[in-house]
Structure 1
């Protein structure tokens, strides 16, 4: 196998199946989120109801993540993944059923609404398990020497599925309605459930460990907070999403500042996402293991700069260009972070570290939306984005100066060592 083979991970049958499963799931999950928001807002005409949806998913996903990581490390990963998908199919079918004419004609609107909230909450519980399970399973599907390549393809698949899922949801709602769109989502989930059984069961690397739940949670958190490289990578990504992101208030820019309307909103979202996807695919050809720490710092610093220019721009073409370049930097940082976590996490702790990663990054998306909304209300949307981008630059500079192990990180030796072990 060539040393810098861009298709190294794709030459492994089970990894290809995993990518298909992940694409179907993320595509469906992204569609489902958009459809639920549309349906709930149509029912209530209340912006607060959208905040409740985010809260219903965030609370269980955040607070259950450490316990989920402990369970994932103790269980067989393929079957656990299959169980998560099975339970997710119940949510998808439940939403499909709740939007049927029979239910809408016989149930009261508040009952349907609270049932949707309950299913979203259940989805938040599952989300706590999905993250660490997927993170752990990837490491069991490919040799360590191609972890960087596998991380790139996995991240690209996730990003592409989430983008196209969200876009497809809007078109499908317009063409076939909410109920039938949810039926397509249920089909995708069932397809992923069938495909996952084409992956063989995997060994449990932590089965002999007799740690209590408390000891296990402490060990996972201790590893993350004592490893400056892992902690630095997670912190940088969380800060970029929390302070540097402006996705939650793109509507304000499209409508009030750039006067671009709903089509402009779609273009802004597409610019950011397409930059990320193209870069992640490019990293399959361009190795990111050399000077890894500096690449991570530069990419997030560049992301912050682009968001500052975007916040100050009143020209549509400049705003789109800045978001595309910001997406390029975001794609680099995502692949680098996933590579660092895969190579630096011990096999027996992958579930717990994956859970902490979900807490850091997953929660920052929802909290970032809250921060952007509050800042936009207090300062106005342009100043809110400029403030967030500036905060990102300052924090990146501080971490770059203070965290020497991350700044000097080079994963080339790690990859070479894994190659020697496997030969």
Structure 2
């Protein structure tokens, strides 16, 4: 690898662990869990458990690819190697634009969260300041990014663990609530475990799957991870289990304290629980947690889009590609990070000038839909790798029960696509995502002819 493209391995095990945890545990759990609970009832716990198992298998497949060649920049390199440059181009730019869109949403939302305490402040200002601070942090060293993400994620984890502990205490003591008493029987006493029938349970998978977006980010950190042969397997084996525990644990606690149909959809269920145990300023606490969750997602977006831009241009010969694929004196792909952050900032400012919430939400839905394709490409690349000579060599970290598990993941992703066809909004997002891929495919063909 060229010296100008070599990056420093500054991410420790605790950084990598919390990067993936922080990427998947976000505002959806703290603010939107009430809506997801009302969609499926207590069976939402089973949906998270099953999806978590699928994500664990996805991570194992990706981990085997990453450890097969530690000189690679990201999982995109393996997609290029085993599926071709065209598929790699489409996947890489899709991943980049997806995280740009996610960052737009989170930076915009952070302005609203700050206005909770300072209602007179311009909405664009907090998000813009947060974006600048995160940019400077990402330009210093990769270890600085890892350290910030560690603390961002830790705040969310503390809030979740506290909720679970409160739930345990309330259930054991049969705590009286405005809706009755805290009890595990609340999980089955109000219409059973599947109160919304099989239809509600199936429809919940679309929302649940998108809750795990960001878990693949380990595949972008590989070339900057300290001692990757030890850290990556450890992180992959532990993270999905922890995520399942946090989601399943917190949602079970919520529905044990309150019957699922009495959990608020107008406010965060976390606020509802904390207020019930006498914490009057619960809304302020949750607002702070959600603000750090938004900052965490934006931090991850800047990191991943910068690294993806670096990976996509590192072999390019144009002036733009050469500029983007250089690293700074601090061994950080500074130009790629700056460019990605600049695009995020332009989009955010444009969003404030011409606010259109429905359009913005639709674009975000399209972006998250594209992750189904990205995850699928990782699995297909793994299947091709295993048929390759390199994939037949014995390694210490392999996909369990290959190839059945690979096809199981692909089947699950196809199932989620079918589920998306059941609702008009998600169906339109799915169609728009397909159009996006067609446009990229046309661009690839024109580039090859040029």
TM-score between the two structures when normalised by the length of structure 1: 0.29
TM-score between the two structures when normalised by the length of structure 2: 0.28
Structure 1 or 2: more helix by fraction: 1
Q: Which has the higher contact order (CA 8 A, sep 6+)?
A: 2
